[in-house]
């Protein structure tokens, strides 16, 4: 073979190598993959090793639950930490799904669901109903939730334990529901089985649970912990929280300020925009909750049931001309409700 032919082949091989490298870089852009090249087998092996370590750690946390069952406060914190560990494990799967074989993705998600079930069962077993109560009751007696049926409380997708006797609103149709909590210390607040209602929560709560809302408008002050939404349709939510998880939502708009990336599952037709709530004292409440700074995460949504590299079709950014604008609860009149 002549030197000229050898040089031409080397040049062609180099061109092919550069082309493949370019294609690889482009395919990696949507997921912001690591800069350091790593083979698929090495990446998968690294992920599975980390996944196994975290899974073992969570199983150890679950096994320790019985040993601290006598200390209600410690047990509650323990369950919160375990729930966060499971959430971190689920996020790990979502962030690495682009490099995993589909079998490993399915297996990992099944493992996570099993861990959630275990946490759910331990919560139901070790925290009796009476320990979910809070001394400070809602302003209106008829607004308190009195133990909805157990099958309406939690699903396998719940990211943290729900509360059975939380203050809140349940089983209402076509009503204006107002709760003023400024200056109080309310833990969990729950909204359940509401149809064509408008909800205004002025003040801060530690956690918000939302179940089966249809054609509602929900305006809530800062949540210092987590928001879990299960089954919402045709509704508008204006929420500020450290963590927001949305499951089984349809045709709903979310105006959010959130410290971590919002998570959706089994949802479609959901749209997102920045938080737009105002009331007298909200800036103080936001600072107290650590939510006074806009993070921009309202636009960084993770769809945990969409594991492809391209944008999920289940959510979108709400166009400017379709947004509701600033909602000032201080100026809204009780009789002016239009839902």
Distance CA 150, CA 141 (A): 22
pLDDT of residue 46: 86
Tracing tokens 């209602």 back to the chain, one arrives at: 197
Cβ proximity of 187 and 168 under 8 Å: no
Domains of the chain and any CATH numbers: 38-127 (1.20.58), 135-154+165-336 (2.160.20.70)
Task: Count how many residues are written for the chain.
Answer: 339
Cβ proximity of 242 and 278 under 8 Å: no
The pTM of the full predicted model, rounded to 2 decimals, is 0.55
DSSP-derived letter for residue 227 is E
pLDDT of residue 22: 47
pLDDT of residue 199: 97
The residues near 100 (Cβ < 8 Å, ≥ 6 apart) are 44, 47, 93, 108
Cβ proximity of 86 and 99 under 8 Å: no
pLDDT of residue 305: 78
Please give the torsion angle defined by the CA atoms of residues 314, 307, 102 and 60, in that order, rounded to the nearest 10 degrees.
Answer: -110
pLDDT of residue 186: 67
pLDDT of residue 11: 58
Distance CA 279, CA 206 (A): 19
The residue ranges of the chain whose pLDDT is under 50 are: 4-5, 19-20, 22-38, 130-164, 336-339
217-231, pLDDT tens digit by residue? 999 999 998 899 999
pLDDT of residue 162: 43
pLDDT of residue 106: 75
């Amino acid at each position: 073979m002549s030197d000229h032919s050898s040089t031409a082949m080397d040049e062609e091989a180099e061109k092919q190598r550069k082309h493949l490298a370019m294609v690889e870089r482009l395919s990696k852009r949507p997921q912001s993959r690591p800069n350091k090249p790593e083979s698929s087998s090495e990446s998968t092996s690294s992920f599975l090793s980390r996944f196994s370590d975290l899974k073992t750690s969570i199983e150890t946390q679950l096994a320790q639950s019985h040993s601290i069952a006598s200390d209600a406060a410690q047990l509650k914190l323990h369950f919160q930490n375990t729930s966060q560990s499971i959430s971190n494990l689920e996020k790990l799967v979502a962030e690495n799904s682009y490099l995993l074989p589909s079998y490993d993705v399915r297996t990992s998600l099944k493992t996570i669901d099993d861990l959630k079930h275990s946490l759910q069962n331990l919560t139901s077993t070790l925290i009796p109903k009476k320990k979910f109560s809070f001394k400070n009751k809602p302003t209106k007696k008829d607004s308190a939730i009195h133990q909805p049926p157990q099958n309406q409380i939690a699903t396998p997708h719940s990211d943290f334990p729900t509360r059975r006797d939380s203050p809140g609103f349940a089983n209402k149709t076509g009503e204006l529901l107002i709760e003023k909590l400024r200056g109080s210390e309310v833990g969990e607040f729950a909204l359940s089985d509401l149809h064509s209602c408008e909800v205004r929560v002025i003040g801060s709560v530690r956690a918000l649970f939302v179940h089966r809302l249809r054609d509602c408008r929900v305006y809530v002050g800062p949540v210092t912990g987590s928001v879990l939404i299960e089954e919402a349709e045709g509704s508008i939510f204006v929420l500020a929280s450290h963590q927001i998880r949305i499951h089984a939502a349809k045709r709903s708009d979310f105006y959010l300020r959130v410290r971590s990336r919002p998570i959706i599952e089994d949802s479609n037709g959901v749209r997102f925009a920045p938080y737009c709530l105002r009331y007298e004292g909200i800036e103080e409440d936001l600072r107290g909750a650590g939510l006074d700074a806009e993070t921009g995460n309202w636009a960084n949504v993770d769809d945990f049931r969409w594991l492809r590299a391209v944008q999920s079709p289940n959510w979108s950014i709400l166009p400017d001309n379709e947004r509701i604008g600033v909602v000032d609860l201080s100026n809204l009149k009780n009789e002016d409700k239009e839902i």
